[in-house]
Structure 1
């Protein structure tokens, strides 16, 4: 009797989930599978499977046409390549000029108005990040016409959201003790920004700017496909005439440029930070 009271027997078994939880889990996976099947049917409704089955042979034929690259075509790529670098660099600089004030307006500890200025700045930052640079280029080419200016502005408008978001987050994460120390000296609002906040965010600012320039090198290489200048325009021209050896050469140049920009970006960030 005593042993029974001290060690009551129980037929209950431990389970990882309750029966209700197990049922909900199976129901969740059933919905996921059904959604996948539905999306697959929607995506492949107009797929011509005869081309899909023939894709390996078509790819092999295309690769055969692309090699060897046309090496002598490089003499015609230097100027478009230089234009691409200029688009990325000038677009990044212009984006920085516009993003820095927006970042200070969006940060909670520096905005002059949380009811008007901050929501407006956040809206611009979100709008910039929501629209791809290729779409910006399409819009600007239709307004300004084809050329480098449309490409520079497209890169700038796209960079505003990226730089502004990361920078205003860095401003909000600044050490308040340093700001309080500057404030205690009777400094003005401008002096508090200059001596209490700006020195703390400068390493982050440099890193963000260089990183965005690296990204913009890649994005500016394709803006020419919609008429925004640079080496992308040369790529589009070669594609239009099916000059596959030239296309290969352009792709190799773009790849080399991206690798070099990545190396430069890493070195600069390491030196600054």
Structure 2
């Protein structure tokens, strides 16, 4: 326990040693220096005139966007339906691919911890590390623009997310149930079906609904790069400075996200 001497020959308790205090202050000094350096770099590449003028520009855009063009709603039903389809089909395809990857990545179900598990973990990390917009840009260059590119982009982005949470749930199962089924002479597939799957079904359902809720949000912006959905309408309205249409599209997106949040909350509540 660190102590320090006090007048009179006594000793008093100290929270940190002198070396720990110096290290702590050195860490603060390095952090402040990094912040100042980054702030200088940001300031040098920022046109501050536009920053100070931003409130006026925002007020001007708001005045132009009010009121929303409600008559434009008839042209948004199909795009919002495409957005829901992108999110739903993308989540479905991701789950189909994520389940086997999760079983191969979990320590207690993988056939090989030194060969197959690293490959499964690489798939999880690689699909999670790239944003869905970037996947959409790549897929548009490969298969062309449209809803199909958006579905594939959402599904690839979701594989790592779903597989990671699912393989963690597999590793946390009660092994006594697996041992009991194994003791009956069940095959490896029977152990998976009757010992592992029933234990992870609630987690699987929760992960599915949660990811679908996230994909609703992500699919609304995929149209900005040409991957279909309501984002395509938003992009075209922004390009033509049709601010009343932009306001209506943002309202529709907000309502769709709120409804998806309500649905996912109800489903998760029923599962839990």
Rounded to whole Å, the distance in 2 between the matches of 1:110 and 1:20 is 47
Q: How far has the Cα of 1:17 moved from its partner?
A: 2.4
RMSD of aligned residue pairs (Cα, Å): 1.0
Rounded to whole Å, the distance in 2 between the matches of 1:118 and 1:24 is 40
Paired residues, number: 265
Q: How far has the Cα of 1:22 moved from its partner?
A: 2.1
Name 2:144's counterpart in structure 1: 145
Rounded to whole Å, the distance in 2 between the matches of 1:189 and 1:26 is 57
Larger radius of gyration: 1
Q: How far has the Cα of 1:56 moved from its partner?
A: 1.4
Unaligned runs of 5+ residues in structure 1 are 1-8
Name 1:258's counterpart in structure 2: 257
Q: Deviations over 1:105-155 (max 9, x none)?
A: 111111111122111111001101101111110110111110001000000
Q: Give the TM-score taking structure 1 as reference length.
A: 0.95
Unaligned runs of 5+ residues in structure 2 are 1-7
Ranges of 4+ aligned residues in structure 1 off by more than 3 Å: 11-14
Rounded to whole Å, the distance in 2 between the matches of 1:91 and 1:166 is 17
Is residue 100 from structure 1 mapped to residue 99 from structure 2 by the alignment? Answer: yes
- SS of alignment partner, residue 44 of structure 1: helix
Name 1:236's counterpart in structure 2: 235
Name 1:212's counterpart in structure 2: 211
Q: How far has the Cα of 1:33 moved from its partner?
A: 0.6
Query: What pairs with 1:40-189 in structure 2 (closer than 5 Å)?
Result: 40-189=39-188
Rounded to whole Å, the distance in 2 between the matches of 1:24 and 1:119 is 37
Q: Give the TM-score taking structure 2 as reference length.
A: 0.95
Rounded to whole Å, the distance in 2 between the matches of 1:142 and 1:257 is 29
Rounded to whole Å, the distance in 1 between the matches of 2:243 and 2:130 is 31
